[in-house]
Structure 1
Amino acid sequence: MIDGIEWRKAGQSSTQGGECVELSTNIAEVTYICDSKDPHGPRLALRAADLAALVGRIKSGFLDL
């Protein structure tokens, strides 16, 4: 567990469950991503440029999610 991280969930997320990720505040140039259904589970750590590239690929439909 990483202490002191503030997480934010997408505004479209509901309390009904489903598919949702949460992003951390930017800590030392790194943003952490976790599954909101498993908040103590594994986390993905990305630098700003890598996060922007991932979001771009998701939005373009390049990734089959």
Structure 2
Amino acid sequence: MTSPNLSGAEFRKSSYSVGGNDCVEVATNLPGLVAVRDSKDPSGPLLTFTSRDWTNFLTSIRANDF
């Protein structure tokens, strides 16, 4: 399996992460892909999801399905 090209990823933190360093950063500017990483280790491992899977995940969180 080929690794996706993440060179253009623009990561951002949640607006709820005021002053914190223990955050998740998300890049949603990649076509069809969402990348997630730990803000404490930006060059470390990351997770990738399809845009569809990420949307389904967020919908489930908002619906309190977890």
Q: What TM-score, normalized by structure 1, do the two folds share?
A: 0.69
- Mapped partners of 1:24, 1:38: distance in 2: 15
- Mapped partners of 1:57, 1:42: distance in 2: 25
Structure 2 unaligned spans of 5+: none
Q: Share of identical aligned residues, percent?
A: 32
| 1:32-47 superposed matches below 5 A | 32-47=35-50
Structure 1 unaligned spans of 5+: none
User: Is the alpha carbon distance of 1:49 and 1:2 closer, same or farther for their aligned partners in structure 2, counting shifts above 3 Å?
Assistant: closer
- CA RMSD of the aligned region, Å? 2.1
Between the two proteins, the alignment pairs up a number of residues equal to 62
Identify the structure with the greater strand proportion. 2
Alignment partner of 2:17 out of 13, 16, 20:
13
